[in-house]
Amino acid sequence: MLTTIVHLITGSADLAAAFLFMYGLKKMSSPVSAPWGIRMAGIGMLVAILANFLQVFTVDEAAKPHLLVNIILAVTALALGASVAWFKGRTVAMTEMPQMVAIYNGLGGGAAGAIAAVELLGNKTHGLGQLLVTLLGGLIGAVSLSGSVIAWAKLDEILKKPLRFPGQRILNATVFVAALVVAGYIAFAVHSGAPALLPISSIIWIFFGLTLLFGILMTLPIGGADMPVVISIYNAATGLAVGFDGYVIQDPALMIAGMVVGAAGTLLTLLMAKAMNRSVSNVLFSDFGDVSKQEQGKMVGSEKPEEASDAGIFMRYAASVIIIPGYGLAVAQAQEKLYEFVKLLLSAGVKVRFAIHPVAGRMPGQMDVLLAEAGVPYDLIFQLDDINDDFANTDVALVIGANDVVNPAARTDKSSPIYGMPILNADKSKKVYVVKRGQGKGYSGVDNQLFYDDSTFMVYGDAQAVLVKMIEAVRSLGAAAA
């Protein structure tokens, strides 16, 4: 009777958790409702975790001697994980947010891989179908773990350049095929009961070693400019791995949450790849960003420096300004100063809007989060398709720390590695100011013709320092008038 009641409660809790996951995800589709959506999804996760502790009332006699130890281990792991996540979530800088997302996503994949390993090593799978799903979940989870760690190292600039060598794709394919062969052998040996060449536990560890190695090898050659798409791919992979593991251990909450995350991550990956006018396979298996192998068109013209104060005053008397934020804005932590400058322009009657490219920054949605953190109203923020046609009628485009997403070479230079990628049409505005720390190339290493155009002026310096000077210049106009 007690077992039936527990199963009824946990089943209801899993259903409620799944609903909260999906409801939260839906709310995250809008910046206005996203905070509420995150809370709802978090409550759903809490419900699922607490409900699973009721399983202690259904354990058989053989497992009871280990029950207290397992509870202590579970509670300790939850306490440590929650404490670290809470602290890092509260203290992480916006520039480190992509790294945190990458590593946490990798931990999710690692957890899914660990569940699969426990099921395999404990011979807990029932039937060939469940065994194959377990192996698939373990493969995807392990690849997501090691691949996400490499993505984190690239984003944190521990690994500063893509690692490429002759025969790399052949090696990657060999390792992947070897992992599949070992997985097939495990399935055959366990399902048939035939004697294995090695202890089955050793073969399982070889399988996970190959999958971890494949995740590393697959991610090492990918250029840094592709990291937003890579993070999205591994996010989808982690969701799928969790969903498969949910099926294996018969946990509806994991199944539903994993499949929702997997589907959402896959859709986001496809949308981002489309925003770069590239296929997902091209992201994973091309040499994008390896400009040493490509003949780029020569830059025409010269960079023209401009004082920050002069640029600020010019925008004060403009009729319309479109601001394009990039990763440099996050590095300088200048979003607060930017919004302060924007409020001065708005109060002077200038029409100001923000233009966001889908792959601006180093993770999906980073620029939207950055502006929301500064309190920028959502009705001032526009996505590429909604604002791109307006640049031709705009007095000033202000580019802050962005490079590839405003590079006209994507439209005109077939030799450029970013040719064909949709960009923000900053070059079509009447005047362009580019705030940049120096004369170096952007994250992808591709030269930008926009910087050399006749209508473009470069404002060199840290974005926060530049914006402070712009603010002071505009305020001095008001003081002089008074």
Mean pLDDT for 32-58 is 84
Residue 404 is a catalytic residue: yes
Radius of gyration of the chain from its Cα atoms, rounded to whole angstroms? 26
Could you tell me if residue 294 is inside a domain? no
Which pTM was predicted?
0.79
Could you tell me if residue 302 is inside a domain? no
Q: Are 82 and 103 in a shared domain? A: no
Query: 78 near 49, Cβ under 8 Å?
Result: yes
pLDDT at 225: 65
Name the packing angle between helices 200-219 and 127-155 (round to 10°).
Answer: 40
Query: 373 near 381, Cβ under 8 Å?
Result: no
pLDDT tens track for 309-352: 999 999 999 999 999 998 888 888 899 999 999 999 999 999 99
Q: How far apart are CA 335 and CA 432, in angstroms?
A: 19
Q: Are 392 and 336 in a shared domain? A: yes
pLDDT at 204: 94
Could you tell me if residue 296 is inside a domain? no
pLDDT at 61: 67
Could you tell me if residue 207 is inside a domain? yes
Q: Are 127 and 258 in a shared domain? A: yes
Q: Are 411 and 434 in a shared domain? A: yes
pLDDT tens track for 425-459: 999 999 999 998 876 655 556 778 899 998 999 99
Asked whether residue 275 carries a pLDDT value surpassing 60, the answer given is yes
- CB-side neighbour CA atoms (13 Å) of 4: 1
Token pair 């990291």: residue? 227
What's the total number of domains in the chain?
3
pLDDT tens track for 375-419: 899 889 999 889 999 999 999 999 998 888 899 988 888 777 777
Choose among 222, 304, 272, 246: nearest CA to 108: 246
Confidence band of 288 (pLDDT split at 50, 70, 90): very low
Q: Are 339 and 471 in a shared domain? A: yes
Q: Phi/psi at 382 (nearest 5 deg)?
A: -130, 145
Say which residue, 300 or 324, is predicted with more confidence. 324
The first and second tokens of residue 319, run together, are 């009729």
In the predicted model, what is the mean pLDDT of the chain? Answer: 85
Asked whether residue 271 carries a pLDDT value surpassing 60, the answer given is yes
Confidence band of 299 (pLDDT split at 50, 70, 90): low
pLDDT tens track for 229-264: 888 889 999 999 999 998 888 888 788 888 888 988
Asked whether residue 462 carries a pLDDT value surpassing 50, the answer given is yes
Could you tell me if residue 18 is inside a domain? yes
pLDDT at 238: 94
pLDDT at 293: 46
Confidence band of 149 (pLDDT split at 50, 70, 90): very high
Q: How far apart are CA 281 and CA 302, in angstroms?
A: 37
Q: Are 469 and 333 in a shared domain? A: yes
CATH of the domain at 336: 3.40.50.1220
Q: Are 360 and 399 in a shared domain? A: yes
pLDDT at 300: 65
Burial class (CB in 10 A: 0-12, 13-18, 19+), 395: middle
Query: 354 near 380, Cβ under 8 Å?
Result: yes
Q: Are 185 and 285 in a shared domain? A: yes
The first and second tokens of residue 13, run together, are 């809790």
Q: Are 114 and 80 in a shared domain? A: no
> Percentage of the chain with pLDDT > 70?
91
**388 Cβ partners below 8 Å, 6+ apart?**
355, 424, 425
Determine the structural domain holding residue 439 and report its residue range: 308-481
Confidence band of 70 (pLDDT split at 50, 70, 90): confident
Catalytic residue, candidates 226, 368, 404, 453: 404
Asked whether residue 280 carries a pLDDT value surpassing 50, the answer given is yes
Q: In what order do the strands lie in the sheet with 351-356?
A: 381-383, 351-356, 320-325, 396-400, 431-436, 456-460
Q: Are 110 and 61 in a shared domain? A: no
Q: Are 275 and 316 in a shared domain? A: no
Could you tell me if residue 52 is inside a domain? yes
Asked whether residue 205 carries a pLDDT value surpassing 70, the answer given is yes
**133 Cβ partners below 8 Å, 6+ apart?**
244, 247, 248
Q: How far apart are CA 239 and CA 237, in angstroms?
A: 5
DSSP 108-172: HHHHHHHHHHHHHHTT---HHHHHHHHHHHHHHHHHHHHHHHHHHHHHTTSS-S----TTHHHHH
Could you tell me if residue 276 is inside a domain? yes
Tell me the CA distances in angstroms from 251 to 15, 63, 162, 246, 256, one per residue in order. 10, 20, 39, 5, 9
pLDDT tens track for 109-138: 999 999 999 999 888 777 888 899 999 999
Tell me the CA distances in angstroms from 455 to 35, 396, 451, one per residue in order. 40, 10, 9
